[in-house]
Amino acid sequence: TQLLEQSPQFLSIQEGENLTVYCNSSSVFSSLQWYRQEPGEGPVLLVTVVTGGEVKKLKRLTFQFGDARKDSSLHITAAQPGDTGLYLCAGARSTGGFKTIFGAGTRLFVKA
């Protein structure tokens, strides 16, 4: 069974602080996605990383895909209350049929 372990599960921080969310697996993924979900809405795609070692930046968010394509991290610099939400990582495998595995999610609360 493929697992994608996401940590931490819950994070409550003050505005301005930095944070990192991790996703780890023993499986190799063809790509990995990060989503953000707000209450009452579906997950919204933030980024897809494809290449081992790839780093992508989206304003204050930095995403990294591990060299072996088994793990990924999301780093938020100077968090703001608007960053509050559920962050989900999802690993995709195309071999043997399309399959996406979701992490358990990190619920982030940024206090003003």
Partner 1 sequence: SAVISQKPSRDICQRGTSLTIQCQVDSQVTMMFWYRQQPGQSLTLIATANQGSEATYESGFVIDKFPISRPNLTFSTLTVSNMSPEDSSIYLCSVEGGLAGVTDTQYFGPGTRLTVL
- Name the token pair of 46: 């933030």
Q: Dihedral angle at the C-alpha atoms of 12, 15, 20, 21, nearest 10 degrees?
A: 40
Q: Residue 26 interacts with partner 1 (CB under 8 A)? A: no
Q: Residue 85 interacts with partner 1 (CB under 8 A)? A: no
Burial 59-85 (b: 16+ CB within 10 A, else e): eebbbbbbeebbbbbbbbeebeeebbb
Q: Please, what is the minimum distance in Å from the beta carbon of residue 42 to partner 1?
A: 4
Of 14-22, 40-48, 58-66, 75-83, the segment contacting partner 1 by CB under 8 A is 40-48
Q: Residue 35 interacts with partner 1 (CB under 8 A)? A: yes
**CB-based contact 106:87 (threshold 8 Å):** yes
Q: Please, what is the minimum distance in Å from the beta carbon of residue 76 to partner 1?
A: 19
Q: Residue 65 interacts with partner 1 (CB under 8 A)? A: no
State residue 29 phi and psi, 5-degree precision: -110, 145
Instruction: Please report, as ranges, the residues that interact with partner 1 according to CB under 8 A.
Output: 30-31, 33, 35, 40-45, 48, 50, 88, 90, 92-94, 98, 100, 102-105, 107
